[in-house]
Structure formats: structure tokens, C-alpha cells
Amino acid sequence: MNFLNKLNEKEKRIIDIVLNSNNEFKNKIYLVGGVVRDLLMGKKIKDIDFLIEGSAIDFAKNSNLKIKSIHEPFNTVKVEILGEEIDIASTRIETYDYMGSLPNVIETGVKIEDDLKRRDFTINSIGYNLHSNKIIDPYFGQEDIKKGVLKILHEKSFLDDPTRILRGLDFKYRFNFEFDENTTSLIKNCLKTFNNEHLSIDRIYLTLNKIFSYSYSNKILADILNYEIYKIWQNKTDLKTSDIVELDQAKEIFNVFEQNKLYILALESIFYIKAPFKNDFEIYEFFKNFNNVQLALYYFKTKDESALKYLKIKNIKPEINGHDLKKLGFSQGRFIGIILKDILKEKILNPNAFISKQDEIDFVLKNYSPD
């Protein structure tokens, strides 16, 4: 079987270039992780992760590849091929000092089988040797792909790195897979016994930002709430599963593109109060510096219709501008700013105040004297 046939022409060329860039390493170059999984599933791949059974830095330095950056501690390099940034990693062994802490890399250049041990699910722990076309699958990930099962590699895996639970939820809904029985009970055990004293919170947020940006992310959010998975990184949340429909409605109303940011903020227990607005101009002034995520969140939390009102008035603008006012004899920038704001206020408070630009000019001449 040569599953590389499923790659597009550019991806095939990139692989060819890496494979022929350093003869000494020819039999040491692997694809690993998502790319192998997605190819086995017949899906389009996201990015190509290369793994060198040896030192990726030595490999790249003694090749004709254009090196963009080197990360010594992990022995990884970024190279540029056909205009694309490509990551090349070294096989490595990692250990964790504390639950949820960042891993220590204790050795690089190890055998591929030892590298595969540090990975999360069996479906992501498959290597593919680009020279021999051999699949390295010590955890039977191919079988689990066929069965649609998410299986963790070892008993301590979630305690070492609980972001794997979040990653698992992503794969569950992305592929319509299920956690196997043992993995489910290890998740439950992790939720019961996890101590977050040394948790890398950055890693949690990096993962949340990723898994909350898909069309199916509301299902992931529901699981995080139903199974109280958020307790890994925060004590409580006032968000409820039954709120998700309204949260998504607010997302649509306010045209939020950054769904991930909205979901993360909604999960955090931020107390919102309904602002007491006396009129529409106060509404405008209050919301004018809000972005769409903040607007949606305010509306979701307070149900204050002022936020909807803001959508109706936010594009109101004076017809005249600073140049027009200068032509009328006003020269001070600050004064021009005040006049434009007054006109905006009139327009917002009384939509029929001005019909034409001339009406605005008449208003200015009646109420202000040029300096």
C-alpha cells in the first residue's frame, strides 16, 4: 500500500525534497502523528510533520534545505520548502515531574518506537518510514482507526498531561469516534485525582483555543461542562450546558468570528452587570470600543437589549467631516472633534434630525461660531 498517493502534488514534492535532501538519513525519515492518521483515514491532511530518528538539527544542517529556525532543547528545526514552513522534529523521550507540568526532554535521537511512547492516542502514535514505506504501529492504532476508538497509551497519560482529554474530545467529535472503556475510566480517575498545583495553564489555553474553533466545538464545550472537565484548570464556572444555545445565538447576532475566544470567556466566571443607560447615545458611547466577542458576551450574560440597539446605531456617522468644518472656518482640531461628536449625538438621539448634509451644515452654523 502506498498511501502517499492520497497527497496532493505539492505535498508529494515536499516529501520528495525532504527525502532526497540528506542521503545519510535516508532511512531515518518518518511521517508521524496527524498526517499518518489522516492519510490512513483517507482524509485531507492539515500539515506534514516530519520526524527524524536521530538529530533533526544535524539532518537539516547537512542538507540543502533552507533553515528558518532551530530549537536546541527539543532538537527541532523549521525549514522552508516550496514557500511552506515545515517542522522537522527529532525522536525524543519525555518525562513529567508533576501532574500537568511541561515535559522534560531527557533524550533525543532515540528509536522511533521510543518516541511513539510519549504520544497521546493510539491513532496518533503511528510512524511511516518514507524510505522503506513501512508503517510502525506498536499500539495497533490502525485497528483503532478502523474501529473508531480513542485509546490512550498508558495509565498515567492524562495525569501527566490533561490537555489530552481535551484533544480526545476534539477527535471524538471530529471523527465521530468513542473513548474505549479503559480510557473513559482513566479520564474519570484523572478528574477525581488531578492536582493542578504545577499545571501549565498556557498549554490548557493553547489547546482550548484550538479545539474551540471548529463547527462542532459546542459539543466539546457541552462535554467540558457535563463532565466538569473545566475543574482541571478552574474551580467553577457559571456557564451551563443549557446556555450553549443562547451563547451560539449571541455569536450569530454579533457576527463573532473568534468563537474560541467567546467560548473561553464564557467559561470563565466573569460577573457582568447590566449598564444603566439613559439614552441611545450612552449606549453608543458604552459599546463603541467593544469588539464582537465582548458584545456577544455582554448580551449573553445580561440579556440587555441595549447591545442589540447598539447594532442598529453603530454605523450612524455625520455626513460632514473635518475638511468641511475647516472650509466653514473652524480650525482647531479639538473643537472640530466636539462639533462632530455633537452632530453624531443629535443623529443618534433623533434619527430625523438631519435629512441631508446641508441640514448638518445649517446646524453647525446656527450653534457654533468659527474661530
Instruction: Give the residues lining the site for ligand ATP (CB under 6 A).
Output: 33-34, 46, 49, 119-120, 124-125, 161, 163-164, 167
Rounded CA-CA distance 319/364 in Å is 12
Query: Which residue number, 33 or 318, has a Cβ lying nearer to ligand ATP?
Result: 33
β-pairing verdict for 50-52 and 84-90: parallel
Alpha-carbon 151 to chain mean position: 24
Which residues on adjacent β-strands are paired with residue 129?
A: 30
Q: Please state, in angstroms and rounded to a whole number, the distance separating the CA atoms of residues 75 and 56.
A: 6
Minimum distance from residue 358 beta carbon to ligand ATP (Å): 58
CA-CA distance, 30 to 218, in Å (whole number)?
A: 35
Handedness of CA 216, 222, 228, 233 (dihedral sign): positive
Q: How far is CA 86 from CA 11, 28, 47, 52, 81, in A?
A: 11, 17, 8, 13, 7
278 burial level (CB within 10 Å; 0-12, 13-18, 19+): exposed
Exposed, middle or buried by CB within 10 Å (0-12, 13-18, 19+), for 261?
Answer: buried
Pick from 137, 170, 103: nearest CA to 33: 137
Q: Which is nearer to ligand ATP, 178 or 238 (CB)?
A: 178
Shortest Å distance, C-beta 231 to ligand ATP: 19
Query: Is the Cβ of residue 161 or residue 346 nearer to ligand ATP in the bound state?
Result: 161
Cβ 32 to ligand ATP, closest distance in Å? 6
11 vs 120 by CB, closer to ligand ATP? 120
Q: Which residues pair with 105 in a beta bridge?
A: 94
Q: What is the nearest approach in angstroms of ligand ATP to the Cβ of residue 334? A: 52
Q: Which is nearer to ligand ATP, 119 or 172 (CB)?
A: 119
| Shorter beta-carbon distance to ligand ATP: residue 28 or 167 | 167
For the CB of residue 33, give the shortest distance to ligand ATP in the complex, in Å: 3
Smallest distance, Å, CB 116 to ligand ATP?
8
Least separation in angstroms between CB 95 and ligand ATP: 13
Taking the least distance from each CB to ligand ATP, the nearer of 44 and 303 is 44
Cα-Cα-Cα-Cα torsion 303, 307, 308, 312, nearest 10 degrees, comes to 170
Q: How many CB atoms lie within 10 A of CB 370?
A: 13
As measured in angstroms, the least distance from the Cβ of 235 to ligand ATP is 23
C-alpha cell read off for 355: 435629512
Task: Pick the closer one to ligand ATP by CB: 119 or 345.
Answer: 119
Q: Minimal distance in Å, beta carbon 129 to ligand ATP? A: 16
- Which residue, among 113, 123, 120, has the nearest Cα to 93 in the 3D structure? 113
DSSP assignment string, 141-171: HHHHHHHTEE-BSSTTHHHH-THHHHHHHHH
Which is closer to ligand ATP, CB of 76 or CB of 306? 76
Cβ-closest residue to ligand ATP? 34
